[in-house]
Chains A and B, each alone.
Chain A
């Protein structure tokens, strides 16, 4: 389905003012805006490094399509509640997996599946993070199927990236094509850095209200370095690398020109494997030795918590609806895509017979790597995949193919063509779950393609959530409001004794 046009080619009601405005801009106006857009993005280094199948990489301006995507208020409402529910359940799952394993005891998730997740981190077993939150920043990928139903395609609760593009896209759109906004009340998103900073401060293990937050980047060579620097700058906190940090006496310190300064919360933008060589990868000397000790001692908060990768594993994904029912006693608001685990021989057989209609994904990869889309695959590829799946069924999942909705997208010819899209909203879990309206809409720029990943040549769109009829939002915090709540003062009076008398009697008869 197309989100802006009816099947007969007329604009849907919500899209009519937009289509009119695009027509008034005309071919020349749009092409001109496109040229200005590329110049701005290159000048600001808003670029993305793409990796081809051969492993070669190159930088290019992040491709923003000038036609926005429009989501009605009611639609967004349901997405927002569905995501908040899902993220709470995922957070419960992470906590459970590293502590009581209740969901395993109940027979809902097989332990062996958990233990074989590559991102199940035994080193953080039994650690309680400040506030009980693990999945501070989540970016779940949503798609709409043929009848328009929203479904979750993938959960991302390790180091999801892309939010800087959401903010930059909006800023660029407002500058390049302000006339498109004229007849819409689009909900703002610019406060994301404040929401993030508030959550990072709220989790800080600090008695004082001036907790020090840092953003930890692997460095300028990282494809998402632009975003790391962007977020640090927007939040007004230090952008650091491993060499700027040191753990002493189980506390994390930041090296500054004034000497060591304690850091309370680290928003790390690198994988678990590279944060502490003592706890993870013994063959790696990257990271900050002792960080996990400081974390276990409760002296530093880490966002996202180490070990969250167990919850966004592609095989675990299938159990998220069960998690929602088990931990929250609620019915899932957002549906999964039907997913098949191949460890069951009968399921494997069914999948092998229908390889040409299914999507096959490796469980240990991300960014669309290694994915086979059955209907698009050559016969030889299907034959090869059949052998691979038979040999190592545990390393793959199969999913029903989702058609993906389309949104009109400006082609190089200056005309609009329907192109497939997904949506990655960004949620921040601090004292509550906050989700900025919309998110990153990724668009497959080639006709018919379902691969939207920016590392594989996808583009993006500004995503508008309309303001009409929305439920009242919590007020947008300003920077001044984002200080952590202070501890209660000492007005509660004097110390009191607290004991329990042992008072069981003998068995009654």
Chain B
């Protein structure tokens, strides 16, 4: 699929603020099934932008507005092309012990140390286990939205898994965190993914829609072939299944705070209002009709 993405954030402060430093992680990544062919960011008031790749390979744009201002606009526009991921490998549980698997898994299989012992996790872990890592991943993505309510405002940006279990409700960030914790407990490497999701049906319908930044996960699944390479498989525990070409990835990390879309700090009044919108449009609907003809 071919998308244009516009991610517009407008902050209005209750009074003049200064030294407004921000780090953006908003650029669609280049991966095996995704490319980003256009990308630009505009800041108002004007600010010099520096870029670097972080530890996880995500592009970070940093800027600072020093002079007093009472509004800040971050206007990001991107074009991205995605294609369907290859079929997920369905290796056995035994595959998790292979040298190749553990090397590729790296730190993404380590227990989540920031996570306090949370009652309820043990039972969830026990119940959500199937005959293979892939089946477990699928089951997890079905079970989580059934057991928990998707409700904005139920949790906060810094909420942990315990908060989700307590309130029984949360948002995609919480669902992804819970799935990652459970996968790692099963010995399956899992990482948090931030990005954009085209949330319409894939076969037409709307050409343009307002969405939000989205969070899902990637799990490392062992190869079904003996001696084969394991592969990262995208899955979305908010939308009950594996991810397809409607997902545009920005980057990944161990958890949310490794890859937040916008992270900033400023000096001045604490009062601020944010209006953030993500608008996605498909450029390929007419093209695909042509291709089909």
Contact = CB atoms under 8 A, between A and B. Distances in A.
Interface stretch (A35-43, A176-184, A290-298, A432-440): A290-298
B158 A283 contact: yes
A247 B20 CA distance: 11
Given A122-B55, A248-B19, A282-B158, A115 B110 contact: yes
A246 interface: yes
Contacts of B64: 247-249, 290
Contacts of B55: 122-123, 125-126
Among A277, A278, A283, A297, the most chain B Cβ lie within 10 Å of the Cβ of A278
Contact of A290 (B21, B48, B56): B21
Interface of A: 111-112, 115-116, 118, 122-123, 125-126, 246-250, 277-278, 282-283, 285, 289-290, 293, 296-297
Contact of B54 (A112, A122, A250): A122
Contact of B62 (A116, A277, A293): A293
Given A115-B107, A277-B265, A282-B260, 11 more contacts: A111-B106, A112-B107, A115-B110, A116-B107, A122-B258, A123-B55, A248-B64, A249-B66, A278-B265, A289-B21, A297-B50
Nearest to B265: A289
Interface in B52-68: 52-56, 62, 64, 66
Nearest to B22: A278
A125 B54 contact: yes
B21 A116 contact: no
B23 interface: yes
Interface of B: 19, 21, 23, 48, 50, 52-56, 62, 64, 66, 106-107, 110, 113, 158, 257-258, 260, 263-265
Contact of B110 (A116, A247, A248, A278): A116
Nearest to A250: B50
B106 A278 contact: no
A370 B56 CA distance: 34
Nearest to A248: B66
Contacts of B21: 247, 278, 289-290, 293
Nearest to A290: B21
19 contacts: A111-B106, A116-B107, A122-B54, A122-B258, A125-B55, A126-B53, A248-B19, A249-B48, A278-B23, A278-B263, A278-B265, A282-B158, A282-B263, A283-B158, A289-B19, A289-B21, A293-B21, A293-B62, A297-B50
B57 to A, nearest CB: 10
B171 to A, nearest CB: 18
B279 to A, nearest CB: 28
A282 B62 contact: no
A246 B19 contact: yes
A115 B265 contact: no
A297 B63 CA distance: 13
Contacts of A111: 106-107
A386 to B, nearest CB: 19
Nearest to B62: A293
Contacts of B53: 126
Contacts of B48: 249
Contacts of A297: 50
Contacts of A293: 21, 50, 62
B50 to A, nearest CB: 7
A247 B21 CA distance: 10
A111 B106 CA distance: 7
Nearest to B57: A125
B187 to A, nearest CB: 13
A282 B113 contact: no
Nearest to B52: A296
B113 to A, nearest CB: 7
Contacts of B260: 282
B284 to A, nearest CB: 36
Nearest to A125: B55
A309 to B, nearest CB: 15
A282 B257 contact: yes
B42 to A, nearest CB: 19
A476 B181 CA distance: 57
Contacts of B263: 278, 282
B259 to A, nearest CB: 11
Give the top 5 A-B pairs by smallest Cβ distance, nearest first. A115-B107, A125-B55, A122-B55, A289-B265, A290-B21
Contacts of A112: 106-107, 110
A245 B106 CA distance: 38
Contacts of A250: 50
Contact of A285 (B66, B107, B158, B265): B265
Contacts of A122: 54-56, 258
A293 B264 CA distance: 13
B260 to A, nearest CB: 8
Contacts of A290: 21, 64
A114 to B, nearest CB: 9
B72 to A, nearest CB: 15
Nearest to A283: B158
Nearest to B56: A122
A115 B106 contact: yes
Contacts of B257: 282
A289 B66 CA distance: 12
A326 B78 CA distance: 46
A250 B50 CA distance: 10
Nearest to A392: B111
A382 to B, nearest CB: 24
A289 B53 CA distance: 19
